[in-house]
Structure 1
């Protein structure tokens, strides 16, 4: 892991950009803490790590005493996309503009994206836990629910997960949800125009966790109330500290 930049922010958080082979990432840590539990944070279906909503959540969580890391997985952010990825995205834009069904198009590229992303995230997790001042247990938080489901199934170091119901979850990950057993906080926007409510409720029902909590709020896809950040950190506090 090679750190390429470092800056101290006005909320008492240190932000460092890094590269790990071909993987670019960002790490936020509380300036005052000698050690901190780690939270992996990913945004909706592989949106860039620099997305303002992700950065705001990461900085808030780091200020509450956590080390928070995110990466651009293969085909996401500034990393190269295959011709098949580009075609799938073009098909998606065309279908959405025409008001056509898009689930099968999402299946065609979100599923492979998860398969490619998981090894990168696990490699990053290995490198982060080797750094001084970053400890387990590990949490996952993010809108890329499909990735979080797979990581929670295959990665025993993840002890708790917070998911946002706004991203498309392929059929394979909906089936894998039954294998997720860690404590879970699931956020749902009741009027999310891109995520059918019943499908999100069915996914919540499918999770195998004995401790799982659903927070549903009125509003569209980007209307998650700010107070859910505070509640999310209290959830992490219960399971990671």
Structure 2
């Protein structure tokens, strides 16, 4: 990750805000720039500080109604990506967030792995926009997560990945393996991407299945041998 990204948390429950802060700061390259407990605090803070890259926003915030604060943010701070993190799952609310340009929408309780994947996806998109001057249709499809009709009538998502495998997280792990000559374990990968060992291993085993990576048994001084994942030689 070539640069760091700032996150502002709007959450009236301080316990949820603390959990969100902890999860955000466990993802390399992300830091929490501030928090707000109300709409008034949010507006005051955003008016004084540099605009954050990402705003994590709850729907149920004191001194505001419905999606009013979301719409205010999108109007006055359109450069900030808004990740909705809320207990509201009503179709009308989700639709308004989607049509209003929310970057992502997550229903509480906050899930560390899901939030981590969203942040990494944002970082990947931000880097892509910095580096590219023009996009092909396939690249645009990947950015918008559009499903493309393939020959034979088969529907596949960009990259044709199985359920539970996020393309941004997968690419991040691939780059990680490529930079580590001695390979990595699932525990090490999980720490870097801010996910559990089982989640990291799911990605690593997928790379083994596709032939990009091979798994070797690493015998330590004590305990059971663990699998070390290394890039497969061409």
TM range (shorter): 0.3 to 0.5
Which structure's relative contact order is higher, taking Cα pairs within 8 Å and 6+ residues apart?
1
* TM-score (normalizing by structure 1): 0.37
TM-score, structure 2 length as denominator? 0.37
